[in-house]
Amino acid sequence: MTNNNIYFVANWKMYGNLSSINQINKLIKLSKSKIYKNTKIVYCPPYTLIDRLITKTNKSPISIGAQDCHFETTNFAFTGKISAQQIKKLGAKYVIIGHSENRSLGETDKIINKKLKSALKEKLIPIFCVGEKLKDKKINKTSSIIKKQIRNGLKGIKNFNNIIVAYEPVWAIGTGLIPKNYQIEKVVKLIKDNVNKKTNKILYGGSVNNKNILELKKIKSLNGFLIGGASHTVNKFVDIIKKTIN
């Protein structure tokens, strides 16, 4: 694990309601302690909780993000959608874009590209997800799929410095399966070679938990983790952070 800022991004997905908010008290306390000064904790709750979590965490180093945004930046007639501008105006700093659960509902690289542009225009930090499906992995297509997702997703974007890339193999999400460290390292290198060698932050996501973190944290080229299931329970999330840092 890098010595720079280490990211722990909690993706709550479609979980959580008002009663979930107080569970982050423990994280607020932890985030203020000196040992965790290089730790970047980002909560991405459902839209319905963004405002409450921003208020709750505003005196702590914890940041808040959204799980998606629409590709139109400003007001537009899109029932049920939320723009990057609306997210920014609430005070959130990050937005997850291109998550495989959205790709599987028909989100194309072209739409992802527009969403990334929209997020950057609003000065949100996109967490851009890429990852291969099991069927691609089986026929050794991981590298070509990732390259294509990066090439199309970042088309026309000149400044990549503020984009965080999350490598999330689709077959690892919510399954308990994870790649071997050398496989993750290979993809991290591929991402760096295709985005920006120096400045980009790269996270791993997919079944990260408080057990496999001890192995995953050995990957020096990673800047942190995108955590779904294990971030819904505060004790597990805290445990992951503590085991990575200590």
Catalytic residue numbers? Answer: 99, 168
The reply on whether position 208 binds ligand PGA by CB under 6 A is: yes
Q: Classify the C-alpha dihedral 207-209-212-213 as positive or negative.
A: positive
Between 119 and 230, whose beta carbon lies closer to ligand PGA?
230
At 76, which amino acid appears? F
The reply on whether position 228 binds ligand PGA by CB under 6 A is: yes
Helix (H, G, I), strand (E, B) or coil at 145: helix
Could you tell me the smallest distance in angstroms from the CB atom of residue 62 to ligand PGA? Answer: 18
Could you tell me the smallest distance in angstroms from the CB atom of residue 168 to ligand PGA? Answer: 6
The reply on whether position 113 binds ligand PGA by CB under 6 A is: no
Residue nearest ligand PGA, Cβ-based: 228
The reply on whether position 16 binds ligand PGA by CB under 6 A is: no
> CA-CA distance, 201 to 207, in Å (whole number)?
20
Could you tell me the smallest distance in angstroms from the CB atom of residue 184 to ligand PGA? Answer: 14
The reply on whether position 229 binds ligand PGA by CB under 6 A is: yes
Could you tell me the smallest distance in angstroms from the CB atom of residue 18 to ligand PGA? Answer: 22
Between 73 and 178, whose beta carbon lies closer to ligand PGA?
178
Using CB under 6 A as the binding rule, the residues of this chain from 160 to 189 that contact ligand PGA are 168, 173-174
Chosen residue from 10, 97, 164, 227 binding ligand PGA by CB under 6 A: 227
Chosen residue from 45, 131, 205, 224 binding ligand PGA by CB under 6 A: 205
The reply on whether position 226 binds ligand PGA by CB under 6 A is: yes
Integer-rounded Cα radius of gyration of the chain: 17
Between 114 and 206, whose beta carbon lies closer to ligand PGA?
206
Q: CA separation (Å) from 98 to 33, 43, 81, 86?
A: 33, 17, 15, 19
Q: Which stretch binds ligand PGA (CB under 6 A): 27-35, 102-110, 206-214, 237-245?
A: 206-214
> CA-CA distance, 190 to 186, in Å (whole number)?
6
Pairing of strands 94-97, 63-66: parallel
Q: Which of 146, 140, 139, 155 is nearest to 193 (CA)?
A: 146
Environment class of residue 243 by beta-carbon count within 10 Å: exposed (0-12), middle (13-18) or buried (19+)? middle
Q: Which of 28, 9, 158, 165 is nearest to 93 (CA)?
A: 9
> CA-CA distance, 177 to 209, in Å (whole number)?
11
Binding site for ligand PGA (CB under 6 A): 11, 168, 173-174, 205-208, 226-230
